[in-house]
């Protein structure tokens, strides 16, 4: 289910749920939701960011695991994207930035984020 129109507006307003993260613990959404946006309240690096679907042709979101967005060069994924260098501290997301995507988990390396949820395509597996 793509977030477009009213659903996208509802997600940006937090109507599907949001949480404040003030530590570096793993964040996972409820099983019927995905993480659709992350707003950074301090300059932050990311330890882990896992896309909702890691199948070939589906990795079109920023990630730290598997093949990152647009790295394969296939027609369906595009080219030129890179994975986040998790834990290296070289990819810094500045205070006030919001990133959008479809993720099943997120681990910040610094405290101070607001994480927004959106509806999942199907219940998210925790295995």
Give this prediction's pTM: 0.75
Question: Which tens digits make up the pLDDT trace of 60-76?
Answer: 566 665 555 555 555 55
Check if the beta carbon of residue 47 is closer than 8 Å to that of residue 91.
Answer: no
Whether residue 127 has pLDDT greater than 50: no
Q: What is the mean pLDDT of residues 80-86?
A: 67
Distance in angstroms (rounded) separating the CA atoms of residues 81 and 99: 15
The rounded distance, in Å, linking the Cα atoms of 9 and 30 is 20
């Amino acid at each position: 289910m793509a977030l477009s129109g009213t659903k996208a507006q509802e997600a940006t307003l937090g109507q599907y749920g949001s949480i404040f993260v003030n530590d570096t613990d793993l964040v996972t959404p409820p099983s019927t939701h995905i993480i659709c946006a992350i707003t950074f309240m301090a300059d932050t690096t990311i330890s882990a960011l896992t896309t909702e679907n890691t199948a070939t042709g589906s990795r079109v979101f920023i990630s730290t695991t598997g093949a990152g967005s647009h790295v394969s060069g296939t027609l369906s994924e595009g080219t030129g994207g890179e994975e986040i260098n998790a834990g290296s501290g070289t990819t810094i997301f500045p205070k006030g930035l919001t990133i959008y995507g479809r993720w099943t988990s997120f681990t910040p390396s610094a405290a101070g984020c607001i994480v927004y949820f959106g509806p999942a395509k199907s219940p998210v597996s925790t295995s």
